[in-house]
Structure 1
């Protein structure tokens, strides 16, 4: 059933991404063995569930909230994301935002900088979801330049 969650994309056996899950989807995510849900969408994004943290923790999963402003992603946002992923490296993680665009950009960067995946291979996953706009392409370039 998890494959029906909007913009779902399996990245690896321990990592999946999506757009905003509905309340009932968190049961499916937990039943699929995921231990942590990481949300990159600010609660005021228009897509978010106000009680998402409660929905996730009621399923016995950890909840990590990293609000990334669409028009202004920061280097700190990505650094916090990397810390959350690295702390749960062996654990199954579900990462989402409103439409899986923020997430796909962060996963692209993570795969290139930390998983040592080639940019070409990482870009296939990124472009399965979208081609970054100017703001996000500049952000990606900035993260690469800073080498976070």
Structure 2
């Protein structure tokens, strides 16, 4: 079991490094060129860590809030991201989700931010769009009422969760209650 987990992490991190290198070497023309960019709706998009130039593209596209789920110590973190985002007229929020220890407190804070910004354009990112895609899966399924298969298929375009994240996802779903579900499908995102 340990060997399989080590091999799985090795493959995941190797793939991640390749995606970062490929993204940074490619010329940037638009949002779709940002590392692991995903359009969710007219009000919401997600990605891996944007560069300073990409933050400018995000601002030019009309996004008002940047939500970063990566800790400032992430390997590809942009050290001055908050200053850059605010200088471009965007709000900046950081929920530093520890890669090896995502918590329900992190997810609940994420849901609160999403709910509080549902009437404006919000751009959500982390280092590789893995944390974000898992949180978006849970948010869309548990909070917005999307079918699990539909919400999960969007996450799978980024990655297949490792054991830590699969366990977190299963725990979040098992512990969800009626308080966490909306009564009807929300059209906000």
Q: Give the TM-score taking structure 1 as reference length.
A: 0.98
Counterpart in 2 of 1:96? Answer: 125
CA RMSD of aligned residues (A): 0.7
Q: 2:156 aligns with which of 127, 133, 139?
A: 127
The 4+ residue runs of structure 1 with deviation greater than 4 A are: none
Q: 1:37 aligns with which of 49, 66, 88?
A: 66
Counterpart in 1 of 2:38? Answer: 9
Matches of 1:98 and 1:16, distance apart in 2: 15
Q: Mind listing any 5+ residue stretches in structure 2 that lack a counterpart?
A: 1-29, 181-189
Matches of 1:141 and 1:12, distance apart in 2: 26
Matches of 2:142 and 2:84, distance apart in 1: 32
Q: Kindly indicate whether structure 1 or structure 2 has the higher relative contact order, using CA contacts under 8 Å at least 6 residues apart.
A: 1
Q: Mind listing any 5+ residue stretches in structure 1 that lack a counterpart?
A: none
Matches of 1:104 and 1:125, distance apart in 2: 8
Tell me, yes or no, if structure 1 residue 82 matches structure 2 residue 111.
yes
Pairs within 5 Å for 1:19-30: 19-30=48-59
Counterpart in 2 of 1:112? Answer: 141
Deviation at 1:50, TM superposition (A): 1.2
User: Quick check: which has more Rg, 1 or 2?
Assistant: 2
Tell me, yes or no, if structure 1 residue 140 matches structure 2 residue 169.
yes
Deviation at 1:2, TM superposition (A): 0.6
Matches of 2:138 and 2:65, distance apart in 1: 20
SS of match in other structure, 1:21: coil
Matches of 2:42 and 2:166, distance apart in 1: 27
Matches of 1:112 and 1:72, distance apart in 2: 21
